[in-house]
Amino acid sequence: MGKQLTPQGLSGVSPPCSALLVPEKWLRTAWACQRRRAISRSVLCGVMLFAIGLVSLFTGQIAADLEWSRIRGRWRSKRAGYNTPTDIWKSEFANLYHGCSDRSPHLRDAVHDSESNGYLLIATSGGLNQQRTGITDAVVVARILNATLVVPELDHYSFWKDDSDFADIFDVDWFINSLSKDVTVVKRIPDKVMRSMDKPPYTMRVPRKSTPGYYLQQVLPILLRRRAVQLTKFDYRLTNKLDEELQKLRCRVNYHALRFTKPIKLIGRNLVKRMRTMSSRYIAVHLRFEPDMLAFSGCYFGGGDRERNELGEIRKRWATLPDMSAEVERSRGKCPLTPQEVGLMLRALGFVNNTYLYVASGEIYGGEATLQPLKDLFPNFYTKEMLSGNDLKPFLPFSSRLAAIDYIVCNESDVFATNNNGNMAKILAGHRRYMGHKRTIRPNAKKLSSLFKAWKQMEWEMFSRKVNLELEETKRCYITQRLKVETSGDESSSMHLSG
Ligand SMILES: *[C@@H]1O[C@H](CO)[C@@H](O)[C@H](O)[C@H]1NC(C)=O
Ligand SMILES: *[C@@H]1O[C@H](CO)[C@@H](O)[C@H](O)[C@H]1NC(C)=O
Ligand SMILES: *[C@@H]1O[C@H](CO)[C@@H](O)[C@H](O)[C@H]1NC(C)=O
């Protein structure tokens, strides 16, 4: 039955709600906002689906199936035949979803500095986007603890080594002011308080995805005793099983309070403008193909003995890595798509060869030679280096600022595609959903691996159809899963699937 669906709008080929970074879950908590903005028809459908959802609390699977067939029926009737050309540039959910993180009017205000339980210091960890997750969770943890948050410290020692501080990347005053209703944020612990503390702040590390209860039991007593606690290696440290208001706060931090500084915004917007003067639409592709990442994956990318030797050499860095079969890893979907495979996938999805590509990437293993097949498929190939020349110079020593520039151009693109499932891919997928559900393509490497192995032996039409079907299949499964989540929980609105 999935075959009858058209391959349009593969906007979310990721598993649903898998992480804080993929906030589909929060989009559908948008009942109140939705009512304000949506067309009455979809509200109506939403109410109906909601009712079915309620019923399904009691009848379980039956209702889920019912809903599923309703939706399927809707698609069928809407598309009157699956041969109609569909808009590959758009997500079909764009009219149904939108971000909503408005604060409930009943939410209590931030605890003032003078009444707070102490100061929460945060040392984030990882590259720009991993740190962004940490900053987001830090604000929510401060709220849970009734603590005053000190502007987080960025990681200067990660793999990406960047000396930038928070204020070099994010607009710090905007951050403090826009969160003032939720959490009190200060730039540093006041001197008076510092002098009154007999010991330096207590330093500890909390496990990933900890619950609010964990923070209240393990961190709060120390905070109260010592007045300041520093949490280190901080990134994704708060569970997704959170009160809805706290989830919305996460959205307010991630999508509203974190704004890049002016110089970064300026150059980012300039790049977007340059892309748009050449073409009204463009695809942004985030490629990760660094040598150590490839070596770590244990995969083989077709570079012969030379590649085997080079990657094997790098692989020795991790003494504990087991010997793996490259074939098996590939069929398990553990190998990032090569630039050529990304190009083939996009062409197979229907993007023609004169489409403009903006490619965001770090070092590419094999350099130009690895990129050439992608450039052959899409000759209109651009990077920030090609577009900005000397304007980029001041940013070059700072990997996080460069990542921020790519973030802006990828966020603004009409379509965003990645070959990996890293932090940037996840956080951008979330951001794009939140800002109007723009199309994002995150290929399922496992499903595509057998196709890429055989594509040369296939007619192009056949290959194209199969790529579309694989992605379609992923989407269908994604939607069924979402239905299960929605009809089995206490969460109210299922309306985003309507229409
Ligand atoms: C935080 O403050 C609110 C309101 O003053 C209070 O109800 C809550 O129990 C406090 N929580 C903690 C952990 O201090
Ligand atoms: C795209 O492909 C056509 C042939 O199918 C070719 O004539 C044209 O030059 C190509 N365009 C670009 C930008 O390479
Ligand atoms: C992301 O794109 C949306 C428009 O789609 C825009 O409103 C928002 O400001 C952008 N955010 C960043 C950080 O570029």
List pLDDT tens digits, range 80-138: 334 444 789 998 888 888 788 999 999 999 999 999 999 999 999 999 999 999 999 99
Q: What is the pLDDT of residue 409?
A: 98
Give the number of whichever ligand sits closest to the CA of residue 405.
Answer: 3
Write out the CATH class of domain 113-259. alpha beta
What percent of the chain has pLDDT above 70? 78
Residue type, position 83, single letter: N
**Using an 8 Å Cβ cutoff, are 274 and 266 in contact?**
no
Taking the C-alpha atoms of residue 470 and residue 451, their distance in angstroms, rounded to an integer, is 9
The single residue listed with the structure tokens 């794009």 is: 432
pLDDT score of 18 more than 70: no
> Which range (2-6, 183-187, 377-381, 488-492) has the least confidence?
2-6
Residue type, position 37, single letter: R
Centre of ligand 1 to C-alpha 146, Å, is 6
Centre of ligand 1 to C-alpha 242, Å, is 17
Q: Which atom of ligand 1 is nearest to the CA of 117?
A: 14
The residue whose CA is least distant from atom 9 of ligand 1 is 146
pLDDT score of 74 more than 60: no
Q: Residue 240 carries which DSSP code?
A: S
The per-residue pLDDT for range 306-320, each reduced to its tens digit, is: 999 999 999 999 888
**Overall residue count recorded for the chain in this entry:** 499
The residue whose CA is least distant from atom 6 of ligand 1 is 146
Centre of ligand 1 to C-alpha 217, Å, is 14
Give the pocket of ligand 3 (CB within 6 Å). 408, 411-412, 435-436
Mean pLDDT of the chain: 82
CB of 161 shorter than 6 A to ligand 1: no
What's the average model confidence in pLDDT over 415-443? 93
Centre of ligand 2 to C-alpha 301, Å, is 27
Domain with CATH 3.40.50.11340 in the chain: 113-259
pLDDT score of 387 more than 80: yes
pLDDT score of 289 more than 90: yes
pTM of the predicted model as reported, rounded to 2 decimal places: 0.82
Q: Which atom of ligand 2 is nearest to the CA of 353?
A: 1
Centre of ligand 1 to C-alpha 144, Å, is 8
Q: What is the pLDDT of residue 198?
A: 87
Structure tokens at 295: 């070596």
**Going edge to edge, which strands form the sheet with 185-186?**
185-186, 148-150, 119-124, 228-234, 202-204
Q: Which of 300, 286, 279, 258 is nearest to 133 (CA)?
A: 258
- Interior/surface letters 291-312, b for 16+ CB within 10 angstroms, e for the rest: bebbbebbbbbebeeebeebbe
What's the average model confidence in pLDDT over 465-472? 85
Give the pLDDT band (50/70/90) at residue 478.
low
Domain 263-435 has CATH 3.40.50: yes
Q: Is 265 in a helix, a strand, or coil?
A: helix
Q: What is the pLDDT of residue 73?
A: 44
Element (H, E) at 439: strand 439-441
pLDDT score of 60 more than 70: no
Q: What is the pLDDT of residue 157?
A: 86
Centre of ligand 1 to C-alpha 209, Å, is 22
CB of 117 shorter than 6 A to ligand 1: yes
Structure tokens at 58: 């009691």
